[in-house]
Homo-oligomer: A and B are copies of this chain.
Amino acid sequence: MTRYGPMYGPDVTFLGVPPCTVTEPVTYTDADVVIIGAPFDGGTSHRPGTRFGPSAIRQACYLPPDGSRPSLALRVDPLRDLCVYDAGDVEMFAGDIERSLAALESAVYAVASAGAIPVVLGGDHSIALTDATGVARRHGFGRVSLVHFDAHADTGDIEFGSLHGHGQPMRRLIESGAVRGDRFLQLGLRGYWPGPDTLAWMAAQRMRSYEMTELVARGLDACLSEAFGIATDGCGGVFLSVDVDVVDPGMAPGTGTPEPGGLTSRQLLDAVRRVCYELPVVGVDVVEVAPPYDHADITAYLGNRVVLEALSAIARRRRDAAGGSPWDPTQPLLDAR
Seen from chain A, the residues whose Cβ lies within 8 Å of a Cβ on chain B are 5, 8-13, 16, 41-49, 51-52, 59, 62-65, 68-73, 77, 91, 93-100, 126, 160-162, 164-165, 189-196, 199, 202-203, 207-214, 216-218, 247-254, 256-262, 264-266, 269-270, 292-298, 301-302, 305, 308, 329-336
Q: Which residue of B lies closest to A5 (CB)?
A: B64
Please indicate the chain B residues that have their CB under 8 angstroms from the CB of A248 in the complex. 250-251, 264-266
Query: Is B95 a contact partner of A97 (Cβ separation < 8 A)?
Result: yes
Instruction: Tell me if B330 and A73 are in contact (CB < 8 A).
Output: no
Question: What are 16 of the A-B contact pairs (CB < 8 Å)?
Answer: A42-B94, A47-B292, A70-B192, A72-B193, A73-B212, A203-B335, A209-B332, A209-B334, A214-B329, A248-B251, A250-B252, A258-B296, A260-B301, A260-B305, A261-B265, A262-B265
* Set of chain B residues within 8 Å of A216, measured between Cβ atoms: 266, 270, 329
A interface secondary structure, majority: loop
Q: Which of B48, B292, B329, B336 contacts A94 (CB 8 A)?
A: B48
- Please, which residue of chain B has its CB at the minimum distance from the CB of A218? B330
A194 CA / B203 CA spacing, docked (Å): 47
* A201 and chain B: residue at smallest CB distance: B334
Contact partner, A91, options B47, B161, B202, B259, Cβ 8 Å: B161
- How far is B71's CA from A196's CA once the two chains are assembled, in angstroms? 10
Q: Which residues of B contact A210 (CB under 8 A)?
A: 332-333
Q: How many copies of the chain does the oligomer comprise? A: 6
**What are the residues of chain B within 8 A of A100 when measuring CB–CB?**
95
Contact A253 B298 (CB under 8 A): yes
Residue of B nearest to A245 (CB): B62
| Whole-angstrom distance between the Cβ of A251 and the nearest chain B Cβ | 3
* Nearest-neighbor residue (CB-CB) of A211 within chain B: B333
- In the complex, are the beta carbons of A91 and B333 less than 8 A apart? no
- Of the listed residues A44, A192, A211, A216, the one surrounded by the most CB atoms of chain B closer than 10 A to its CB is A192
Complex contact A46–B8 (CB within 8 A) = yes
Residue of B71, B214, B257, B336 touching A332 (CB-CB under 8 A): B214
